[in-house]
Structure 1
Amino acid sequence: MFFLKTFINFVSLIHEYIDKEINDESKVQKELYEIRLKYEMGEISKEDYEEIKDHLMLRLQEIKKRKQKNEEE
């Protein structure tokens, strides 16, 4: 029984960590800033920059939608 409770607590902690990582707007904003710097410094092409930026913007929108949905519940 102890093992089961410990395992459930462990899984719960992992779930909380993943949820925080997935829903962290500041991390996505930091990535947007970093990718912009790389583009401006010529480290990546415009095409790569646009592709990554679009992906990050979608992630940011999804995070905001999830937060809004959670607030409404």
Structure 2
Amino acid sequence: MFGINSIIKVIKIVYDQAKEEYLNEDKVREQLLNLNLKYERGDINQEEYRAQEKKLMQRIKDIREYKRGFREEGGREE
């Protein structure tokens, strides 16, 4: 049977991986490129493109602000 420390360790690992994935600016840029391809192929219209692009650009801005604030607080990025 797992002890409480093991459970906490697993939760921390999952949290750290999810955070790393969410804060990965390269992945968001890749999503922007894919969005552009969809638009160019005609898979989505201009309205849908702009709406999704706006969300992705906001996410990049949020990631950068988070990282900037983290550094200013003396934190260490992993």
State TM-score, norm by structure 2.
0.89
Pair 1:62-2:62 in alignment: yes
What is the CA RMSD across the aligned residues, in angstroms?
Answer: 0.8
Name the one with the larger helix percent: 1
| Secondary structure in structure 2 of the residue aligned to 1:62 | helix
- 1:50 Cα deviation after fit: 0.3
Gaps of 5+ in 2: 74-78
Question: Residue in 1 aligned with 2:18?
Answer: 18
Q: Distance in 1 between matches of 2:58 and 2:21?
A: 16
| Secondary structure in structure 2 of the residue aligned to 1:33 | helix
Stretches (4+) displaced over 6 A:
none
Question: Residue in 2 aligned with 1:45?
Answer: 45
- 1:21 Cα deviation after fit: 1.1
Question: Residue in 2 aligned with 1:31?
Answer: 31
- 1:4 Cα deviation after fit: 0.4
Higher relative CO (Cα under 8 Å, sequence separation at least 6) belongs to 1
Q: Distance in 2 between matches of 1:12 and 1:39?
A: 39
Once the two structures are superposed, residues 7-36 of structure 1 have per-residue CA deviations (whole angstroms, 9 ceiling, x without a partner) of 010010011011101100000000000000
Using the aligned pairs only, state the percent identity.
31
